[in-house]
Amino acid sequence: IRSRIHIHLHPSSLLDIDLGIREHINSLLLAYNESLDGIPIAYRDLSRVSNTLHVSPYFPLCDVCVDVTFTAVRPQKGMILSGTVTEVSDTFIGILVFNLVKWVVPIERIEGFSYSVFQQKWKSKSDVAHTIGQGDAVRIRVEQIENHGGGYMTVLASLPLQDPNGDPSVACGNLEYLKLNLPLK
């Protein structure tokens, strides 16, 4: 995502303006950004629009405008994604997606599974060989994105065993089980 942003630098950053700019851009990474409609995970092609800085008449800050290209995770409802289970409880499954962001599958979105306290895994009600536990690679469907403000968001996902259109190749669950038992896309 190519973006032009204004950065307000503290006067202490004037000794190394480029460092001050990079520190500000780095602080934007791995937090939800409303103007980018996603979570920036990297950036490149950083350049100043002008070599002049404008001093704010109200605050002791200098305004610098930069162009930058962000790589961002932009979850959308209905997306089918893969991740690794990082946490399992009787009320949710925590999944690390892209090895960067944690998404949650709450109990009300875990269809066709029941929680086993002894194994600390979710077990399929129709096939006991289909389990989901910590460390498993799983496929999930994005259901809802909640923006909490301040760079925080929650992505709620589900584990439907069938696509709403009946396509078994986009079923969700433990990828190892699905690869053995269903045709996958």
- For residue 58, pLDDT over 80 is answered with no
For residue 122, the cross-strand partners are 115, 132
Q: Tens digits of per-residue pLDDT, 85-110?
A: 999 999 999 999 888 778 888 888 88
Q: Are the beta carbons of 125 and 111 closer than 8 angstroms?
A: no
Q: Which residue has the tokens 């190892």?
A: 176
Q: Are the beta carbons of 32 and 153 closer than 8 angstroms?
A: yes
Q: What is the 3-state secondary structure (H, E, C) of 48-62?
A: ECCCCCEECCCCCCE
- For residue 54, pLDDT over 80 is answered with no
Rounded Cα gap, residues 178 and 168, in angstroms: 10
Confidence of residue 165 (pLDDT cuts 50, 70, 90): low
CB atoms within 10 A of CB 80: 15
Q: Are the beta carbons of 159 and 110 closer than 8 angstroms?
A: yes
Count of CA atoms in the C-beta half-sphere (13 A) of 152: 3
Confidence of residue 115 (pLDDT cuts 50, 70, 90): very high
Rounded Cα gap, residues 36 and 155, in angstroms: 16
Q: Which of 158, 122, 114, 154 is nearest to 140 (CA)?
A: 158
